[in-house]
């Protein structure tokens, strides 16, 4: 027991002597459209929201395309509406992209993102109903009751 207390005490002392340094990212706080990192690479921020694995704001290199950006966000989830990907630019304009055409019909449309673009990945209505409601449970319960009533009569 004494040994555990000494170890805890040493860990606490060490945290005061060698505090964890959180590396600040001034480029994330910048109001500029482009920032240059310490490595000299030109970067910009892009937002990804909606039905992806890891939505959020990403600091990415200039000239990144839509497919690469979705990949950085962990990819789209099952039930994504690939026909209606919306890109909202910082100037307020919206562009709708049919990602299904690009992926499955060999269309060579690579949409290049601009600084502060927001990519909105929509979820299909059927997928939303199945995953975020009790509809399947209610349906199965009613079916179970109907089958039970039929057997007992």
Per-residue pLDDT, averaged over 116-134, amounts to: 85
Q: Angle, to 10 degrees, between the axis of helix 125-132 and the axis of helix 135-152?
A: 70
Evaluated on CA atoms 126, 130, 134, 137, the torsion sign reads: positive
Residue 28 has pLDDT above 60, yes or no: no
Alpha carbon 139 to its chain's center: 31
- Which helix or strand (DSSP H or E) is residue 92 part of? none
0.85 exceeded by pTM? no
Domains of the chain: 26-136 (3.10.560.10)
Alpha carbon 127 to its chain's center: 17
Residue in this structure with the two tokens 């039905």, named with its chain if needed:
51
Distances (CA, A) of 115 to 11, 34, 48, 96, 118: 43, 7, 12, 17, 9
- Is 66 exposed, middle or buried (CB count within 10 Å of its CB: 0-12, 13-18, 19+)? buried
Averaged pLDDT score across all residues of the chain: 81
Per-residue pLDDT, averaged over 92-96, amounts to: 93
């Amino acid at each position: 027991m004494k040994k555990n207390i000494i170890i805890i005490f040493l860990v606490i002392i060490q945290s005061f002597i060698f505090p964890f340094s959180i590396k600040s990212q001034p480029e994330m706080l910048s109001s500029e459209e482009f920032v240059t990192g310490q490595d000299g690479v030109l970067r910009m921020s892009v937002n990804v929201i909606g039905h992806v694995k890891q939505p959020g704001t990403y600091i990415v290199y200039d000239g990144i395309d839509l497919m690469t950006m979705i990949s950085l966000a962990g990819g789209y989830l099952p039930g994504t509406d690939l026909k209606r990907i919306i890109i909202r630019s910082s100037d307020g304009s919206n562009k709708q992209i049919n990602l299904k055409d690009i992926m499955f019909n060999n269309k060579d449309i690579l949409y290049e993102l601009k600084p502060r673009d927001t990519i909105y990945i929509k979820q299909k209505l059927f997928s939303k109903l199945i995953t975020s409601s009790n509809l399947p449970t209610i349906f199965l319960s009613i079916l179970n009751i109907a089958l039970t009533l039929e057997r007992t009569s």
